[in-house]
Amino acid sequence: MLQPSYIVITTPAIDKMRAGKRGALIVFEGCDRSGKTTQSSRLVELLKANGIPVLPMNFPDRSSSIGKDINSYLTNSKDLPDEVIHLMFSANRWELVNQMKNKLLEGTTLIVDRYSYSGVAYSAAKGLNFDWCYAPERGLIKPDAVFYLKASADDLTNRGKYGEERYEKVEFQRRVGEVFDRICSKEASYWHQFNASQPADNLHSQIVTITEELLPKVATQPLDKLS
């Protein structure tokens, strides 16, 4: 288990986070092996250590019936048309929307590894129409913040286990990154871009700073929807 002792959240900030009426929806996005799982896990452990209700999630959720089919596709044991797999990814998110809403309104912060934007970026990178890809995401809960971990596709090939899943190809990941850049520019009000090639501790510290400011800020705000 990660020990977040080198990051200290001040007592007033902790009190504000605990007193909030709802939790925050924080999403980590980026190309494969950009560090999303590592950084999202570290943030979860930090919030837990400070007594803040938090739940980690990741998409696709491979435990559901839809998720199991997605897993077969991602591990190259099953082929599906691009349009079909895109809609299955979206349906996988819709399966959990009520659970996510209830948790947020109970005061639990959700730390999500991949969300709607990955669905759009990966399908658009295959050549599907961007607006068509985004359409089934409308109505899902809108994140309070998206942490976009950006690194060059060439740098990511040096990270462990790269290439084991269907989408882990350099040229494809480069196209995925271009779509993420487009979304980041369009949604700049709540997207935060980070250099994923910097030392992990530095990246973690930057993420914590934004999170510390975010949680008390959104606590009394109503949930919004993607539109």
Higher pLDDT: 17 or 90? It is 90
Coil/strand/helix, residue 111: strand
> Residue 13 above 70 pLDDT?
no
Query: pLDDT at position 160, please?
Result: 53
Query: What pLDDT score was predicted for residue 78?
Result: 86
* C-alpha span between 227 and 222 (Å, rounded): 15
* SS percent in the chain: helix, strand, coil, step 5: 50, 15, 35
Mean pLDDT of 159-181: 79
Residues β-bridged to residue 113: 28, 58
CATH superfamily of 21-215: P-loop containing nucleotide triphosphate hydrolases (3.40.50.300)
| Structure confidence at residue 156 as a pLDDT band (50, 70, 90) | low
- Residue 165 confidence (pLDDT) above 70: no
pLDDT digits (tens, 9 = 90+) for 27-60: 999 999 899 999 999 999 999 999 999 999 999 9
Contacts of 215 (CB under 8 A, 6+ apart): 16, 17, 20, 23, 24, 52, 109
Question: Measuring CA to CA, which residue among 189, 212, 206, 184 is closest to residue 20?
Answer: 212
CB 147 within 8 A of CB 221: no
Helix, strand, or coil (residue 115): coil
How high is the pLDDT of residue 71? 92
Is residue 2 pLDDT above 70, yes or no? Answer: no
Q: What is the mean pLDDT of residues 12-40?
A: 81
The yes-or-no verdict on residue 180 having pLDDT over 50 is yes
Percent of all residues in the chain with a pLDDT value above 90, rounded to a whole number? 78
Q: Is the pLDDT of residue 17 over 80?
A: no
Please give the pLDDT value at position 33.
87
Round the average pLDDT of the chain to a whole number and report it: 89
Q: Would you state the pLDDT for residue 4?
A: 47
Q: Is the pLDDT of residue 88 over 70?
A: yes
More confident residue, 17 or 120: 120
Domain boundaries, the chain: 21-215
Q: For residues 211 and 146, what is the distance between their CA atoms, to the nearest angstrom?
A: 11
Q: Is 55 helix (H, G, I), strand (E, B) or coil?
A: strand
212/208 Cα distance (integer angstroms): 6
